[in-house]
Structure 1
Amino acid sequence: MNFASDNTSAAAPEIMQALAAANKGYAMPYGNDPAMDEVRTRIRKIFEAPEAAVYLVATGTAANALSLAILTDPWGAVFCHRNAHVEEDECGAPEFYTGGSKLVLVEGEHAKMTPETLRKSITSTGRSGVHNVQRGMVTITNASEHGTVYTAGETAALCDVAKGFGLPVHLDGARFANAVVASDAAPADLTWRAGVDVLSFGGTKNGCMGVEAVVIFDPARAWEFELRRKRGGHLFSKHRYLSVQMGAYLEDGLWLRLARQANAAAARLSAGILTVPGAELVHPTEANAVFASFPRAGHRRAIDGGAAYYLWPFDQPLEGPGDEKLSCRMVASWSTTEADVDGLLSLIRGRG
């Protein structure tokens, strides 16, 4: 019953089979392998973007930081939600790879920016000329860090604000598959048709061993990305092991099936928690993460019974009055079973 993160799950069998099959013979390095040609073709077809440039890296941090670096200058502001992954969980990598650009934090409930909050932040930036960072770019996280999802319309509304100021847009899609399944929208409608210029398209959190794609919808930016990827130490020599992961992930809609399983498990867990006396959701459950609050006694039973998840925020003590509420984050993965969910709920209720 591990709900600590979708990063804790194993790789999907289809991914491991692809890796084993690739581990024979020889293949050209640095992305010149035949499997990478197939990946480009599949991603272009999925996103209805025949001219898109496609590159692979091994981590989401690399995908995000390198993407931001091709979209803004070192003196530019990167507008993101206050709880965006680039702000909370990347150890200054965006600032490092961009050469010093500043993250400007935008407000909004449930980790989602609104056109109004974004416009306010952009408008108030760079008003004193050379004395300020300049307006640089916007980055959106979908699904968000609080498990919520931007619809195609919401994404387009944010992009419209950005474009009104002449700013490019990046989408952090570490859990993009979960967002696609949750919104039932076409990948193109959640990205370039809405105004997104560059997408970090995640695989690792959704069943891959370790691979992320960077999809650049304006190929004019591609060469700079190639240079930054190499200079930043993220060009894999034995690239075929990235290529075959992404290839298997995309084959026959596996990426959507895995995300659908994770989202369904989270929905089951969310519904079950709401039947616990005193429980409530802190954020809506729209993808594969559940943010909930319920009495401390339930948390103690669950954790003592072997369940793994995070109290959220982290600084809440597990010791104290049993009826006092503590909030938490629980994340379902592609491999979360109904038995896992039901077992956790039984512990919380005191029936484990």
Structure 2
Amino acid sequence: MNFASDNIVGASAPVMQALVQANAGAMPAYGNDELTAGIKRRFAEIFDHEVAVFLVTTGTAANALALSSAVPPWGLCICHEEAHVIDDECGAPEFFMHGAKLKGLPGVGGKLAPAAVSSYLDSLPKAVKQMPPKALSISQVTECGIVYSPAEIAALGAVCRERGLFFHMDGARFANALVSLGCTPAEMTWKQGIDILSFGATKNGCLMAEAIVVFNRDLAEAMDYRAKRAGQIISKGRLIAAQLQGYFDDDHWLANARHANLMARRLAEGLTQLPGVRLAWPTEANEVFPVVPKRVHKALQEAGARYLTWTEISLPQGEQISADEELIRLVLSFATTENEIASFLDLARAGSARQAAE
């Protein structure tokens, strides 16, 4: 049982089938093939908007290049203090922004509140010695497993428009958020003010395929050159496009996300029935963040269960993790089975029973 990430499983069968089919024969290189052109048209259909699309191989590349188009070297990008772009990219956004900075703000559950963003912006001196704010970046799903509603995104989008900031969404788990909300891709992005999106697919069934989706054409002009300099203009680019073709066909991407989210809900429901177990944040997508007794945590690890312990930075007000508790993160995927959920819950019950007996 490995719930450390949704990156640990391979690609889904439809994605692999599409990849094998696209592998046969010869096609123009460097993304100049019809398969790539077709996928770019598909993105426009999915988002019901004219878009510029740039296919890349990693989420780090997508985030770093997207932000580099929005923030000049003397600029500032605001994000949550635990956002992936500031906490897990080894400085890639700053590197590709050529010296621009990221500023992390606090917020419960990994979310930024419009008032907090506005307050921070108001606090900045206007002198040339201060890097001027140029962009706001949010994670959808957040690093704490919760989802921004369209109304919350719109409120942040309004702040961006008022302050002249570009608005970026890190959508590493875009599909999981989308099916959780039950809205359309347009309603979760450009209709609420998103200018540029890092569209994730690798965590939800692709082998290695991500996309930068640009709604604001002002940010697209130099992206081809940025991608080339970053080594992201792939010679056999059709093989990235093929993964996305298999991903989108028959709404496979949405089915994968629904399954992962369902597995997360079932795991959360089972865990919260155990004595001493509660959720740090609601389970809104495919991640579960339970607070468990340390004895249960130890029993799970000794039995071979794999997952991460998590930080307490973004806990709700009044929530505290005691010395005999552990906050853990469990990530479910399109490939998670009912048997894996049942086995994990059996181990947790056994650990809880041993604790009670002691």
TM-score, scaled to structure 2: 0.93
8 Å Cα contact 2:55/2:241 also seen in 1: yes
C-alpha displacement of 1:255:
0.8
In structure 1, distance between residues paired with 2:311 and 2:343 = 24
In structure 1, the residue matched to 2:304 is: 306
1:48 aligns with 2:48: yes
In structure 1, the residue matched to 2:199 is: 201
1:331 aligns with 2:331: yes
1:25 aligns with 2:28: no
TM-score, scaled to structure 1: 0.95
8 Å Cα contact 2:16/2:246 also seen in 1: no
**Residues 148-227 of structure 1 aligned to structure 2 (within 5 Å):** 148-227=146-225
In structure 2, the residue matched to 1:122 is: 121
8 Å Cα contact 2:172/2:201 also seen in 1: yes
C-alpha displacement of 1:350:
0.5
In structure 2, the residue matched to 1:16 is: 16
1:66 aligns with 2:40: no
In structure 1, distance between residues paired with 2:303 and 2:272 = 20
C-alpha displacement of 1:276:
1.1
Of the structure 1 ranges 243-252 and 302-311, higher mean CA displacement relative to structure 2 is found in 302-311
In structure 1, distance between residues paired with 2:301 and 2:201 = 29
1:76 aligns with 2:75: yes
In structure 1, distance between residues paired with 2:103 and 2:324 = 35
In structure 1, distance between residues paired with 2:232 and 2:121 = 31
Q: Which runs of 5+ in 2 are unaligned?
A: 313-322, 354-358
In structure 2, the residue matched to 1:100 is: 99
In structure 2, distance between residues paired with 1:235 and 1:129 = 39
SS state at 2:267 partner:
helix
In structure 2, the residue matched to 1:252 is: 250
- 1:79-121 CA-to-partner distances (Å, cap 9, x unmatched) read 1011110011000001000011111112210000011111112
C-alpha displacement of 1:301:
1.9
SS state at 1:244 partner:
helix
In structure 2, distance between residues paired with 1:313 and 1:106 = 15
Q: Which runs of 5+ in 1 are unaligned?
A: 315-322
8 Å Cα contact 2:74/2:100 also seen in 1: yes
In structure 2, the residue matched to 1:39 is: 39
Q: Percent of aligned pairs with the same residue?
A: 43
Of the structure 1 ranges 115-124 and 340-349, higher mean CA displacement relative to structure 2 is found in 115-124
SS state at 2:45 partner:
helix
1:344 aligns with 2:344: yes
Superposition CA RMSD, Å: 1.4
In structure 2, distance between residues paired with 1:191 and 1:137 = 15
8 Å Cα contact 1:79/1:122 also seen in 2: no
SS state at 1:146 partner:
coil
In structure 2, the residue matched to 1:3 is: 3
C-alpha displacement of 1:128:
4.0
The residue type paired with residue 96 of structure 1 is F
SS state at 2:192 partner:
coil
8 Å Cα contact 1:58/1:242 also seen in 2: yes
8 Å Cα contact 1:291/1:328 also seen in 2: yes
